[in-house]
Amino acid sequence: MTQRDFLIVGGGVVGMAVAYGLARAGLSVTVLDESDDALRASRGNAGLVWVQGKGLGMPRYAELSLEAAKAWADFARELTERTGIDLEYEQRGGVDLCLDAEEAHSRQQEYTTLQNASSFLTQEFRWEYLDREALMPYLPGLGEAVHGGTWSPHDGQCNPLYLLRALYAASHSLGVDTHPASPVERLEATASGFRATTPRGHFEADRVILAAGLGARTLAPMLGLSDAVHPVRGQVLVTERRPPGARLPTPQIRQTASGGYLIGDTHEDAGLDKGVTLAMMQSLAVKAVRIYPDLAEARLVRSWGALRVMTPDGNPLYEASTTHPGAYNINCHSGITLAAFHAGGLSDAIRDDRVAQSFPQFSGARFHVPAT
């Protein structure tokens, strides 16, 4: 058993982005992951590289999202050059739809408040509310029942499956050691670092990073880290392949590079149930046709449910353990958008052991402030 520089628990988009960043810096990394039947948050995303709506109530999160989106083009190009895998990334802007006037009014108030919350956002965060007619060049065929939406040039999309595949390929080329079907049962400090116990044996490293999504609820307290995460179910519909529509992506619906429409945007408190329900499928289909009436003719070919990882305030969790120095906790529900940041600025901060100094707003301590 060879001790490595870093042990990462969790082989999803978040864990592998950090693994890639650390390996790119010349560090040795081992990644431990669960089996394919695990509750994987990476299955519950829409492939959006998205800035709109991030950081309401925490401007620093909005800043990170914007910085990550700006870094995504170089990040995607670098991964493609290393692996030959096209991430199908594009940044033509995006629209977050408002189905009625009340939603439109609330959205504009929120974005104005957010934009004024920091000098960086005031200068860099661009958005504009457009009514239905003004949106037509961006969303041809938009339904008459849609009031409008906020447009931003920062938003884009990628193929999340290709992203994860590229992260694995690039990480392997840099010497990252990955172990699938190796769920971690216990984490503990040793005289020389940390040890993870799995059904396949023990793994040791100088430092450990917990990027295990909902697994943090069990594993994080073992190292004095926060377990304040809970599941939020999302259900997704996919249509048959359709002719290219030249439509910008939205959080509600987007056309993939292969032609199918990905329909989602559900947030359900269903515990650990990642199944699909007929009622929600019907609701998603009705909304999709309201947005694009031509989809009434489209056949549905696939549906699935997945569990997103959410903190109590919806913002990321980045922390270093105060009781077990060298242990870190990473959790967020924006793993696709923040992938460039996780492979860059965050992995650099972990490498230099300055997470607490660089990202104090994101510590789990914010969930344990005594009531006054």
Tokens of 245: 């529509």
Separation between Cα atoms, residue 311 and residue 317, nearest integer Å: 7
Asked if 18 and 8 count as a contact pair (C-beta separation under 8 A), the reply is yes
pLDDT for position 36? 72
Total domains in the fold of the chain: 3
Sequence-distant (≥ 6) Cβ neighbours of residue 57 within 8 angstroms = 313, 315
pLDDT for position 368? 81
Return the CATH number at 291. Answer: 3.30.9.10
pLDDT for position 265? 79
Return the CATH number at 205. Answer: 3.50.50.60
Q: Which domain holds residue 299?
A: 230-310
Tokens of 275: 């199944």
pLDDT for position 164? 96
Q: Are residues 258 and 299 in the same domain?
A: yes
pLDDT for position 64? 97
Distances in Å between the Cα of 98 and the Cα atoms of 14, 95, 141, 202, 305 are 30, 9, 16, 51, 24
3-state DSSP call for residue 198? strand
Q: Are residues 239 and 170 in the same domain?
A: no
Classify 47 in phi/psi space as left (phi over 0), alpha (psi -120 to 50) or beta.
left
Nearest Cα neighbor of 181 from 42, 37, 18 is 37
Block residue for tokens 């990202």: 359
- In the chain (372 residues long), the average pLDDT of successive 10-residue segments reads 89 97 98 79 83 95 97 98 97 96 96 95 97 97 96 97 97 97 96 96 97 96 96 94 95 95 90 91 95 96 92 96 97 95 98 97 87 42
Please check whether residue 275 lies inside any domain of the structure: yes
Separation between Cα atoms, residue 290 and residue 284, nearest integer Å: 10
pLDDT for position 372? 39
Predicted TM-score (pTM) of the model is: 0.95
% helix, strand, coil for the chain, step of 5: 35, 25, 40
The β-bridge relationship of strands 177-179 and 186-190 is unpaired
What letter would DSSP give residue 252? S
pLDDT for position 46? 84
